[in-house]
Structure 1
């Protein structure tokens, strides 16, 4: 019977069953207080891309790769729920559900609304996807969760709001993720994968469930989240899988020789008793489902009905076990009612291992090009969101668009990219290509919005150009044009300086700012490194380099023009030297106002960094190494792969024993070019006025002709006495202390001294002693560690020849553009400072790198946007800059007359003498483009009013839980942010008019 046919039969009866029903905890089934209640949770885990693309999974295409069709799962489950009011089901991935919902007729939609209203179809987690927790930045996590939760809120109202976070498949769990979930209003969090040693310890101590204090800065219980570890990952108990892809025997309760009721019931009771020993209440949960299951939901439900019937029948003979259809929230509700005092967790769940030599730390770096593209895409999405708000209706109705909002395309692509097999780098190659394709389509859509917005605000219909290959010196406009405009848009709410590098073919240029003042600039040759990477994609001989500045949440337009004649080399102070025997006497030093960097001329390696402001000198050696990827050995067959990092030995190989050097010096930038091998090079760079050292590395194609997979890392060695400690960020926010060969939760038996000490580095990693701190900022998520005292290493690229047997079924062997292997280029920024002042620098610099200015180019000379409109060359959407410790995290259109914005305090409690102070803001006169008419505070994901949030209260070992403070009346002129606090607002606005621009 088809879905719509079934509805004709079942809707009438379902209407009677649903009379007076309600969702939420009130809809939970009754349990028996004097028995062991086994909560059976029918569910499906639907990866938003992995072995197949998102579309292939949804429609059921390419079943030769994996049998999976999400549309059929929902088609099959709904009639089963309608037929029996006792049945329940949970669904997670809104990217798939929204797609299915859009294809349904209204009668089907009404039936589903009814099921949701009765609490029998329950959404858990509710993000666009189930995001990765190691490689995802907190900004992108918030956005993808908000996207999914908004769909549920608008489609199903309050009954569509999930109460439970559900991360059953991500490969390790971050503290920041738990903090975000708590701030979004979730009552609990269930996870599936934790380290095998951790799990064994928890089972022995009956600490499979506890309260996670996920922030050291937010006052409890703001970031406290009850967290439970599921017993079987997310699979059913062994021998109890009844999906069409399973081979377990069904329950046969007929008068037949195949009758197996007694044996299965006995087995189940034993399984339930064994599981109950590891948990503290008379309630346990069993996940009855797995990957892409329930395409034929009848198979599952028919057998579950029989299991419930025959197990519960044993109660007449004295059994104390009670089975029921349930959901994660109903199970959580029973745990809360138990009123127990739970233990506390303060650290995170990284790294994750499922065996002695199986550390899932390789995916912290896997597919580095996709990781960078995702990071850049998030940056552009924020720019796109902001300009859509600042330009109003014109952003979608201007000369480059057709009146339809284009931002949603990028929002959805970014939402998909956060999936735990997307940004993690653990999908098949063709799926990874599809993720990139979706992001590219999002860029195309957002470029329309940005062009419309800039035309409206600047007053000029320019031919806006987006040169997306500037990192390899490719831009057709600047290479060919005699004159062009450079628009530098700053998405931060404070003014920034940014060093612009553009490929050109002239040798002299003038650069003029909006006031007509000449801007110091230099022209330097395109390096041989870059020429090799770009091949025939561009033909610029030089790069134009100048330092631009941009106002807060605004832009500044610079005019560039090629000048005739050749500028004498000596006047440019440009020197090219080669390190070779006999040149040791040369002084290989670059320096600016803040830093001096020394090199060893005999090896070509970095030797010393000096902070001239603080009078600090630190010997620092940096080089590239590679670990020989294991293919398995006599001790264990585990190989390195997309997920797992397992070097064949603890000692890595040097990429090159020494580096050949080239030297460039001028008034804008000083550079040392290091060539380590045919496939590894680096530029060490100091820009004038900047307090950091930039290392631009280029790695690949990694050679594999020797039959060895290679895991390449950049290692820094210092004389800092670090005592086994180093520090990494958690999803770009709070900092966690790491200790080599140590876990806070259990006594670690370390079996992999390198891989077992790797942690995710989303934005920064650092070392310090009592006085000095060395920080490395990354431009994408990577794996990092300190394998011995005074050292830091960051894995930048991996190329492997074997699969690690975790399901992806192919080695991490990225082909690159020419199918000879992937070449990756990236940047590390090095900060050397005192411990006391380091936080101010690395916090703000990391945020500026993440929210980098967007450079938009134009040939100039475009017609006015409207007759008589001035050509605006400088603009800020703020009446004043925000304090440096306050970040405008989100500014996005909500409805035509309302916007969503988030403000966050960027510092942790006690981290900085000045930065960690609370800040109070007046929001009413903050924006120059519009006036806030009314303001409403929302929870972090914006799907609930702040004042309506009522989270479950949990008792912990630290004493009685503190109730959430009662919200005070919102005063837009007195908005206070405390350390690490994010506040989310929905504002109804009225746009201002500008001369020559009509009111939107």
Structure 2
């Protein structure tokens, strides 16, 4: 099969037939008119959680948790070779890649044979099992592509996963299902869903369903068969045979006093029949494994062999139960053969609760500093480095800053990509790991970016013609940049990763009183407090900054709050008595809403569990407030204002640990709220969860909208779930949803959109309001395994972390509001990269560059531009508007690829699936019962190029 595939490109119908027969041949035969129990041996290996990635792989720090992934893979392969009936699935490519690189060529050939025979099957196949609530879709696609590419190049089609497997994430996003469908998966299995939802689905036999994961893509493009596993991802009670388990082994010597075969078989049949009652077919699945199990795989397989033998032996006496080694794809094949009609789901699986007072909605905000750093790293590592490598060609790998070592540069980029991929793990960016592991994730991201800076410097040197040393000010968020604070003359290079021009404010720490700023054409730019840069699409522009010996102060400060600030687009008013926001007006559309904003905690302080309903406290995972009434931090704000020609600021102080800058730039259609929270005080022995709440005059009628992984928007309703009758037990935590990049409230006239700079949790608890959790500092562990409270400190902030972030507010008429907030959200996710050069630039330096011949249309987003191999690049273009969002921008768009790039000559184009591991015309998926739907097509393309 493999050699045939490699020798020729098969016709679509031949490939379908070949893959079909391959699946059939690798699966054990089932028996009709029997209950077929599919035993799936597996291990769940977190890419960091209680231990770091390295500690888990090598089996270090077993005083924290006994786990060593390299020994699991050693042991499993050894046991698979002893019995051809045995099966095993593996998930996390980050670990498998490490193990594979350590194996001899003979062992690699052995493993390839196991894969080709279907005895070792890869499921999911991403670099990690990503979180679904706090990840951005662009980073998820990248980490999936990395893992799947390795499997594809190593094992060919036999190693290609056919099933998505997210058994541990704490709730499930619709956009993830949409991505999996577009990556060619036949099905999706997970273990966690709300306890009320599970009860209803068990009763109605809807634990297996068809998930329609997009309201814009034409079915079945984003349709995905979805199965809910019966025991999470653990084995049935009493049937765990790992060295970490306490269940007794099968003792099958009848001459011994402790012979227990009859009891084991009886209990197993009872469990199997009980499970069959709540599923729809005569096939059921059992996950035989758990966290970091199979380090001694002999324990598991020896007992599973016996279980299969003794249960099936009863068929001679009329038993109708058949047990077999299986995999998720083999199980899915049998469900497909049943040719049944499956329940349809259109929404998502958030929020997740495992009991009445245990809502897993705190992690939407946990570790907000790490969440922001991950988002910045996504822009820096995955976009800027990749784009510049393509646009500058080979010069990026052997320029003046790479010491001529192409291999070293490629390794550096690979390290950057792997660091970013690991950060997508469901115990990484989610914030649900131990503190030392969170530190390790941040260290990897920082190290990856430092290594990637060599490639960026080489690329910019090639494109600009200047080999001057470039510097990176990575601490601008705390107003630190040694070069700008010491140099009398320097240049700022602004690289824009978006495929359309952007205007971006630049704020730099300096020590002078007045500066001259000039753009690439030598034109002077207003630079009081801030200067606005205009960067071309997929390119850069350069500004020079010179210290003036004499000059006026950069800004005038007023300690009295103005009644209003405005530009040509927006007007913002303040209450003169409180210093708080009071209204927001869009001057273009002539609309005004009442708008007040403040900061609260108390109701969101970490519940210490001392109440009559439950002893569940807030923690890294769980959000559990004590009451429904928030504590107002301050009724008034101490203020001062700054007015310049470029920006107007109102600075507000609510408490020694809570402040904000309300900022309106001259040419901006969005109001910026830059908040600073921390150190959160705990002298009163109370942890606190800090929110900001926007109260408006908009008539929301309980409805609000949040994004799914930064892409499509979903409608929410307070105290409501679309697929079951909710019994609400936590009116605050039970109404929180993940906000990855934006949320909005609206009525027929007004829409207020909030764009966030990181993933956060929020909701609309009261009509007309939108609240967002900003920071969490807790004093109790929530008993979900992490084993320590979420109480972050550091050497710099020993009294608790100080976190700073931005919210961008826009007011528009629905439905055209999307025309403004989607591009705005992309600007925040993929922000410009600033690099600095000291002194004068060479006269022949090219000060401006665009990698495009023309900007892409507003509806089209350039998602990926990255070097694929020596002669080709991977390009992803996406239509970023949902079908219902905009009268103008939701329409289909045509893009001429021949006229797209300025430095690349397109020689050929071939289309792949979303994860780039299959040609699009060869991607086949199981067909499930179709439902009607409409939408427009997203374009994902790979094409070949040469540098012009």
With the shorter chain as reference, the TM-score category is over 0.9
- Asked if the contact 2:342–2:929 (Cα under 8 Å) also holds between the matched residues in 1, the reply is yes
Name the CA distance, whole Å, in 1 between partners of 2:917 and 2:181. Answer: 14
Partner residue, 2:148: 149
Which of residues 553, 575, 578 in structure 1 aligns to 2:557? 575
CA distance in 2, matches of 1:733, 1:387: 25
* SS of 1:392 mapped into structure 2: helix
Q: Secondary structure at the match of 1:228?
A: strand
Whether contact under 8 Å (1:23, 1:116) holds in the other structure is no
Normalising by structure 2, we get a TM-score of: 0.96
* 1:558 equivalent among 531, 543, 551: 543
How far off is 1:925 after superposition? 2.1
How far residue 657 of structure 1 moved from its aligned partner, in angstroms, is 2.2
**Residues 741-761 of structure 1 deviation map (CA, whole Å, 9 limit, x = unaligned):** 000110000000000000000
Which consecutive aligned stretches of 4+ in structure 1 deviate over 3 angstroms post-superposition?
20-26, 860-864, 978-982
| Whole-angstrom CA distance in 1 between matches of 2:162 and 2:907 | 32
TM-score normalised by structure 1 residue count? 0.91
* Contact 2:490/2:840, CA 8 A, preserved across alignment: no
The answer on 1:628 being equivalent to 2:605 is: yes
The aligned counterpart of 1:417 is 423
Shift in Å, 1:833? 1.0
Q: Distance in 1 between matches of 2:22 and 2:240?
A: 28
Task: Name the counterpart of 2:809.
Answer: 830
Which of 673, 685, 710 is residue 695 of structure 1 equivalent to?
Answer: 673
Is 1:850–2:858 an aligned residue pair?
A: no
- 1:390-789 equivalences in 2 (<5 Å): 390-401=391-402, 402-404=405-407, 405=410, 406-523=412-529, 545-567=530-552, 569=553, 574-578=556-560, 587-626=562-601, 627-632=604-609, 633-789=611-767
Root-mean-square deviation (CA, aligned residues, Å) is: 1.4
Counterpart secondary structure, 2:154: helix
Q: CA deviation at 1:916?
A: 0.5
Aligned residues: 919
| 1:173 equivalent in structure 2 | 172
Could you list the runs of 5+ residues in structure 1 that have no partner in the other structure?
Answer: 1-19, 524-544, 580-586, 865-869, 963-977, 993-1000
Q: Structure 1 CA distance, aligned partners of 2:792 and 2:576?
A: 35
2:71 maps to what in 1? 72
Paired with 2:204 and 2:579, the residues of 1 have a C-alpha distance of: 54
Alignment correspondent of 2:183: 184
1:890 pairs with 2:872? no
Alpha-carbon distance between aligned partners in 2 of 1:171 and 1:505, rounded to the nearest angstrom: 48
Aligned to 2:34: 35
SS of 2:353's partner is: coil
Asked if residue 954 in structure 1 is aligned to residue 933 in structure 2, the reply is no
| Aligned mates of 1:118, 1:573 — CA distance in 2 | 72
8 Å Cα contact 2:49/2:786 also seen in 1: yes
Which stretch of structure 1 is more off in the superposition, 593-602 or 194-203?
593-602
Contact kept, 8 Å, 2:556 with 2:644, in 1: the verdict is yes
| Separation of aligned partners in 2, 1:773 and 1:649 | 29
Compute the displacement of 1:573 (Å). 6.2
Structure 2: distance between partners of 1:805 and 1:836: 44
Conservation of the 8 A alpha-carbon contact between 2:218 and 2:935 = no
Contact 1:907/1:915, CA 8 A, preserved across alignment: yes
Q: CA deviation at 1:394?
A: 1.1
Shift of 1:658: 1.2
User: 1: CA distance between counterparts of 2:119 and 2:47?
Assistant: 24
SS in 2 for 1:903: strand
Equivalent position of 2:336 in the other structure: 336
SS at match of 1:820: coil
Mapped to 1, the partners of 2:884 and 2:771 lie a distance apart of: 28
Please report how far the alpha carbon of residue 368 of structure 1 lies from its aligned counterpart in structure 2 after TM superposition. Answer: 0.2
Residue 357 of structure 1 and its aligned partner are, at CA, apart by 0.2
Conserved 8 A contact 1:25-1:329 = no
Contact preservation (8 Å) 2:215, 2:935: no
* Superposed counterparts of 1:260-409, under 5 Å: 260-381=260-381, 382-401=383-402, 402-404=405-407, 405=410, 406-409=412-415
Q: Distance in 2 between matches of 1:210 and 1:21?
A: 22
Answer whether contact 2:218 2:936 (CA < 8 A) is retained: no
Counterpart CA distance in 2 for 1:371 and 1:652 is 25
Equivalent positions of 1:14-29 (< 5 A) are 23-29=22-28
| Residues in 2 aligned to 1:876 and 1:980: alpha-carbon distance in whole angstroms | 29
Q: What SS class does the counterpart of residue 83 from structure 1 fall into?
A: coil
Cα distance in 1 for residues equivalent to 2:244 and 2:334: 33
Question: Could you tell me which residue of structure 1 aligns to residue 223 of structure 2?
Answer: 224
Partner Cα separation in structure 2 for residue 833 and residue 575 of structure 1: 31
SS at match of 1:95: helix
Does the 8 Å contact 1:461/1:863 carry over to 2?
A: no
Contact 1:462 1:861 in 2 (8 A): no
CA contact (8 A) 1:710 1:798 kept: yes
C-alpha contact 2:172 2:349 (8 A) present in aligned 1: yes
The match for 2:9 is none
Q: Deviations 1:336-375 (Å, cap 9, x if unpaired)?
A: 0000011100000000000000000000000000000000
Contact 1:393–1:896 (8 Å) recurs in 2: no
- In the alignment, the residues of structure 2 paired with residue 21 and residue 951 of structure 1 have an alpha-carbon distance, to the nearest angstrom, of 10
How far apart are the structure 1 equivalents of 2:713 and 2:187?
A: 23
Q: 1:982 maps to what in 2?
A: 938
Is 1:803 aligned to 2:781, yes or no? yes
Q: Deviations over 1:625-684 (max 9, x none)?
A: 012221112221101000000001111111222110010001000000000001000000
| Mapped partners of 2:799, 2:721: distance in 1 | 41
Specify whether residues 409 and 980 from structure 1 end up closer, same or farther in structure 2 by C-alpha distance, changes over 3 A only.
farther
Distance (whole Å) between structure 1 residues aligned to residue 470 and residue 744 of structure 2: 40
Cα offset for 1:393?
1.1
Residues 371-426 of structure 1: CA deviation (Å, up to 9, x unaligned): 00000000112011000111111111111113221221111001100000001000
| Alignment partners' CA distance in 2, 1:265 and 1:794 | 52
Give unmatched runs, 5+ long, in structure 2: 1-18
In the TM superposition, what is the alpha-carbon distance from 1:861 to its structure 2 partner?
3.9
Provide Cα deviations, 1:866-924, integer angstroms capped at 9, x if missing partner. Answer: xxxx4111101111111011011000000121100100001000210111010011101
- Map 1:914-993 onto structure 2 (within 5 A): 914-956=888-930, 958=931, 981-992=937-948
Supply the distance in 1 between the matched residues of 2:116 and 2:492 (Cα, whole angstroms).
Answer: 54
Secondary structure of residue in 1 paired with 2:584: strand
Cα distance, 1:27 vs structure 2: 1.3
Q: State the shift of 1:25 in Å.
A: 4.1
Partner of 1:201: 200
On the 8 A contact 2:489/2:840 being kept in 1, the answer is no
Residue 686 to residue 293, structure 1, CA distance change in 2 (3 Å): same
SS of 1:731's equivalent?
coil
Give 1:26 deviation, angstroms. 3.3
